[in-house]
Amino acid sequence: MSAEVPTQPRNLPILATEESTAGKTYIVTGANTGLGFEAAKHFVRLGAKKVILAVRRIDTGEAAKRKIDEATGTTDIAEVWPLDLSSYTSVKAFAKRAIAELDRIDAVIENAAVATPEQTRAEGHNLTLTVNVLSTFLLAMLLLPKLKGSAEEYGILPRLSIVTSGIGWDARDKWEEIKEDPFVRMDALPVEELMATYPISKLMDSLTVRELAARLPVEQGKVVINAVCPGLCKTELVRNCPPAVKQSIVDQHVLYGRTAEDGSRTLLAGAVLGKDSHGTFTSNCEIREDKVPVWAKDEEAKKWQEHLWALIVEELEAVEPGCVQKALQN
């Protein structure tokens, strides 16, 4: 067995309990495999009333549901709903269904992401940008009013957790190159630089969570919004990486990678951490603002964070007019 390293502890705590989870409704995106699958299984095991497996392909989602049902001895808690983050139409349809069919939402865990070396386009942008950032926050905007409504009707404190990664902080140099016009620059990256789109997208996620939380305090929005870093985990995320990159990551997995189940505990933490986690970067199932480098949270960083926010809002308002204003209103 390989040794652990100080920054990657294993056997993380499971902060969610039957008491905190029973009777609640959860949405987990990318729940057919890896972290999302394991988190969804935990929620079911802990007595949730309903767990929505939001997946791109129904067949893989149904296969995941069967595994969850068998592992937990249940049949009517996990539900498979289609959600393709490469399609704004799919995101809007999913949110509309959630608002109409779910009586409450206690937490939304936005886990789905892609990492690809190909310059594939979706909704006019690089696929990684569309899936990991734009559609992720489109879904957040569309569901925030439902989360707030759930808080007011049921007297609960819902969570919106965006799964990000500390690898984003390593993308500083590339971010400095593209931050003035990040969408255009990401869309135009040459093939040899496309693997950089994943860490950049995760940096964008972390910054956008900070900006969104600042604009929607818990007292106003009634929702805790946080960023969750699951660490380096043995999942299928690397399946589309170039061979050399994939092998390097696999080698790191052997040395200190977490299992998907262990890593999923960070997602559970995001769904139960308190108000003090609002707008923060969490890692190892706890708030770890010390992991956020100074350059990403000083006054200069805030200026570019606001700039990124403005670009995201412009895109989302074009897709669904009024969605950001409605999400942020009192």
Using DSSP, state whether 8 is helix, strand or coil: strand
Residues 47, 100, 205, CA angle at the centre, nearest 5°? 75
Q: Which of 65, 174, 198, 222 is catalytic?
A: 198
- How many residues are there in the chain? 330
Which residues 6+ apart lie within 8 Å of 176 measured at CB?
A: none
Q: Which of 24, 148, 202, 234 is catalytic?
A: 202
Residue type, 222: K
Using DSSP, state whether 160 is helix, strand or coil: strand
Q: Is 287 left (phi over 0), alpha (psi -120 to 50) or beta?
A: beta
Q: Which two tokens stand for residue 130?
A: 């569309």
- Look up tokens 């016009």; give the residue: 181
Q: Which two tokens stand for residue 189?
A: 């990256």
Backbone φ and ψ of 272, nearest 5°:
-130, -15
153 vs 25: CA distance, rounded Å? 14
Does the annotation mark 202 as catalytic? Answer: yes
Does the annotation mark 198 as catalytic? Answer: yes
Backbone φ and ψ of 172, nearest 5°:
-55, -45
> Which residues carry out catalysis?
198, 202
